[in-house]
């Protein structure tokens, strides 16, 4: 998870190209970390795409070539005093992510550089992913601020990258490479930067030519298989976000101490 400066002007840019919609995360000064406003704009963009039956494919990509999304702006966590705020935060993220999940057309993540925290979550929500050779993927929350993921986020990321890779990312704080995730099937392809735009155009054309009802029904089936009957873990989320460890982790991270906090488990 990355810290976006409070003054960061980040935005979501949406462009239409025939049957394709291209969504861009535009906050390059913070390696495209998502502010709260960007999360809500992403939710609204996803809902607009879902409501337009003429859209056959949507792509998601970061600005600047250095990062897809480097994480989420955590500055507001410094004001958290109890676990209920953590529950509310995870519900907000779940609402935004559910909008991306619910897009009925084919979705493609184009990953250049870092895909961390929320970036990994969004990439995992997409149907297909391509990446540059230098791409790195991770969710090192256990080594930074000490928070946790919602049940939906665990199901989404674990289902996409595989549960063992997900454990390595969270339990060990590892960053996995494009080569590792190509071999696992998480990535469709690794593409050199100079060939990336042509590859995106080719994938969009192929996806747009697919029968829309086939795509829609297949995605709806997979979505129900993934998210129906998820366990209620809100008491666990409250315990984590209400902990002294979490407050210590946030304070150290915002102070840029660049060390793993001295966790106590309380």
Q: Are 42 and 94 in contact (CB under 8 A)?
A: no
Can you read off the two tokens belonging to residue 1? 């998870």
Question: Burial level of 236, CB count in 10 A (0-12/13-18/19+)?
Answer: middle
pLDDT at position 3? 40
Between CA 68 and CA 137, with CA 248 as vertex, the angle to 5 degrees is: 20
Cα-based angle 129, 45, 207 (whole degrees, multiple of 5): 40
Helix axes 234-241, 83-101, angle to 10 degrees: 130
Q: Does domain 1-193+211-266 have CATH number 2.40.50.140?
A: no
Give the torsion sign (CA, 253, 256, 259, 261): negative
Beta strands 189-190; 57-62: pairing state = unpaired
**With b meaning 16 or more CB within 10 Å and e meaning fewer, what string describes 24-42?**
bbbbeebbbbbbbebbbbb
pLDDT at 161: 97
Cβ-based burial of 81 (10 A; exposed 0-12, middle 13-18, buried ≥19): exposed
Which tokens sit at 35?
Answer: 């502010």
The whole-number pLDDT of residue 6 equals: 40
Tens of pLDDT along the chain (266 residues)?
A: 334 434 457 999 999 999 999 999 999 999 999 999 999 999 999 999 999 999 999 999 999 999 999 999 999 999 999 999 999 999 999 999 999 999 999 999 999 999 999 999 999 999 999 999 999 999 999 999 999 999 999 999 999 999 999 999 999 999 999 999 999 999 999 999 999 999 999 999 999 999 999 999 999 999 999 999 999 999 999 999 999 999 999 999 999 988 899 999 99
Residue 236 CA to residue 224 CA, distance in Å, equals: 24
Q: Taking Cα atoms as reference points, which of 161, 145, 175 lies closest to residue 240?
A: 145
**CB neighbour list of residue 74: distance below 8 Å, 6 or more residues apart:** 1, 3, 145, 250, 253, 254
pLDDT computed for residue 4 by the predictor? 40
CB atoms closer than 10 angstroms to residue 258: 7
């Amino acid at each position: 998870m990355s810290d976006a400066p409070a003054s960061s002007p980040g935005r979501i840019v949406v462009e239409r190209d025939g049957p394709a919609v291209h969504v861009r995360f535009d906050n390059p000064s913070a390696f495209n970390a998502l502010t709260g406003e960007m999360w809500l704009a992403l939710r609204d963009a996803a809902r607009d795409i879902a409501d337009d039956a003429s859209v056959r494919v949507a792509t998601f990509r970061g600005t600047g070539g250095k990062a897809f999304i480097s994480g989420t702006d955590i500055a507001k966590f410094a004001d958290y005093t109890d676990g209920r705020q953590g529950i509310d935060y995870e519900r907000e993220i779940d609402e935004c992510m559910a909008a991306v999940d619910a897009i009925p057309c084919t979705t493609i993540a184009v990953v250049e550089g870092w895909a961390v925290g929320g970036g990994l979550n969004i990439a995992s929500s997409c149907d297909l992913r391509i990446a540059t050779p230098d791409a790195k993927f991770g969710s090192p929350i256990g080594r930074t601020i000490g928070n946790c993921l919602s049940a939906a986020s665990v199901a989404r990321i674990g289902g996409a990258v595989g549960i063992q890779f997900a454990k390595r990312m969270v339990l060990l704080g590892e960053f996995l490479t494009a080569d590792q995730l190509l071999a696992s099937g998480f990535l469709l392809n690794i593409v050199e930067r100079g060939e990336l735009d042509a590859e995106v155009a080719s994938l969009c054309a192929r996806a747009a030519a697919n029968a829309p009802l086939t795509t829609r029904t297949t995605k709806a089936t997979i979505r129900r298989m993934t998210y129906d009957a998820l366990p209620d873990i809100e008491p666990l989320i409250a315990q984590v976000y209400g902990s002294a460890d979490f407050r210590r982790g946030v304070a150290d991270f915002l102070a840029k101490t660049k060390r793993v906090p001295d966790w106590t488990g309380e």
